[in-house]
Every structure is written in structure tokens, then in C-alpha cells.
């Protein structure tokens, strides 16, 4: 009878150890969310003197190049002459603003995108630690090829959302 209790006690201790396994080593969540920018064109055409037909559509730009700018110098190439309809930009977890140079075609003058935002540290889990979420405040752009800017979502918590839409001049 005593061995039966010892076996049951050993099984209970083993089950307790398995149930209390340390899961803090695994991180299955993203620690950062990139800022998603979509490209669109408005091919407006005049029907008559009072009617203009707008046809807004997603646009694949032929040779998109994006560079991060630090202290007025191109620092890092994020995209280089790729056909894209959207880009993902990383915000800095240690600064409240960042600047990017965007060229949508190799023959066109590049535009500068400057973002001002606030940062918030967020505890994700013991295995992941802390991540950073952002709240977009302001977007400044040059107007070489960009016609207008629409902020779709100021909260940057996921890369799945479209945060900004850039409308381009029709060339």
C-alpha cells in the first residue's frame, strides 16, 4: 500500500512540474508594428463643365526606392527600384520623429516624408518583453510627385492596418 502512495505522489509531482513548465522562453508575437503606406492615383476626368468623374485606384509604382534619412544623409535603403503598391516603414523606438526619402520612379524627383509621433512601451509577455506602439501626430511631405496625403489610422499597433494613403499626380 505504501508503494502505491509513493507512485501516486511521484505522478502528482511529475504532473505539477509539467503543468508549471516555464513558457517565458517562447515569444510568438511581433514586438514592433511597421507603418503601412498605400499608393493611389485619382484619374479625374471632366465629363462636362460641371461634372468631374473621379476614379481612385490602387497604383503599382514601377521603381520604388525608399531611404531612411538621418541628419540629412541617406542612411539605409529600405526598398530599391521595386514595383510596389504599398510600403512598410519602421518607426524609431527611441525618437519622436523620422524622415524618409521616397522615389516612385527612377526618372522622377524624390519626395521627403517626415513623421512626428509619440511612443508607448507595452508589456507583451515575459518571453517577449516590451514592444513599442506609436501614435501618429503629423505628416509633412514635399510635393514633387505626391498630390495629397490621407491619414487612415493614427494608432500604429499592427502592420495589418493601412495607416497612410499617398495620392500621386497623374503623369
Question: Exposure string (b/e) for 90-123, b if CB count within 10 Å is 16 or more?
Answer: ebeeeeeebbbbbbbbeebebbebebebebeeee
Per the CB < 8 A criterion, the answer to whether 17 and 144 are in contact is no
d(CA 23, CA 155): 30
Beta-bridge mates of residue 58: 40
DSSP 8-class letter at 10: H
Q: What's the pLDDT at 161?
A: 87
Predicted confidence pLDDT, tens digits, the chain (171 residues)? 677 777 777 776 666 666 555 555 677 666 677 899 999 887 666 666 676 656 666 788 889 999 999 877 777 889 999 999 999 999 988 899 999 999 998 888 899 999 999 999 888 877 788 888 899 999 999 999 998 899 999 999 888 889 999 998 775
Q: What is the DSSP letter of 8?
A: H
Which among 70, 116, 69 has a CA at the least distance from the CA of 96?
116
81 in Cβ contact with 63 (< 8 Å): yes
Residue of 33, 26, 24 whose CA lies nearest to 122: 33
The model's pTM is 0.74
The pLDDT value given to residue 65: 94
List of long-range contacts for 118-126, beta carbons under 8 Å, 24+ apart: 119/91, 119/93, 124/27, 124/29, 124/31, 125/24, 125/27, 125/29, 126/24
Amino acid at each position: 500500500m505504501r508503494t502505491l502512495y509513493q507512485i501516486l505522489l511521484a505522478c502528482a509531482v511529475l504532473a505539477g512540474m509539467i503543468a508549471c513548465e516555464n513558457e517565458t522562453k517562447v515569444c510568438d508575437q511581433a514586438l514592433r508594428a511597421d507603418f503601412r503606406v498605400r499608393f493611389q492615383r485619382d484619374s479625374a476626368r471632366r465629363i462636362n463643365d460641371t461634372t468631374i468623374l473621379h476614379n481612385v485606384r490602387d497604383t503599382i509604382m514601377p521603381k520604388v526606392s525608399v531611404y531612411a534619412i538621418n541628419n540629412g544623409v541617406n542612411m539605409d535603403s529600405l526598398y530599391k527600384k521595386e514595383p510596389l503598391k504599398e510600403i512598410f516603414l519602421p518607426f524609431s523606438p527611441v525618437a519622436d520623429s523620422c524622415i524618409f526619402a521616397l522615389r516612385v520612379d527612377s526618372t522622377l524627383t524624390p519626395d521627403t516624408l517626415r513623421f512626428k509621433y509619440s511612443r508607448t512601451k507595452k508589456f507583451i509577455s515575459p518571453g517577449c518583453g516590451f514592444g513599442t506602439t506609436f501614435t501618429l501626430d503629423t505628416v509633412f511631405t514635399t510635393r514633387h510627385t505626391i498630390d495629397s496625403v490621407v491619414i487612415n489610422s493614427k494608432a500604429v499597433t499592427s502592420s495589418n492596418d493601412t495607416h497612410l494613403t499617398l495620392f500621386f499626380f497623374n503623369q
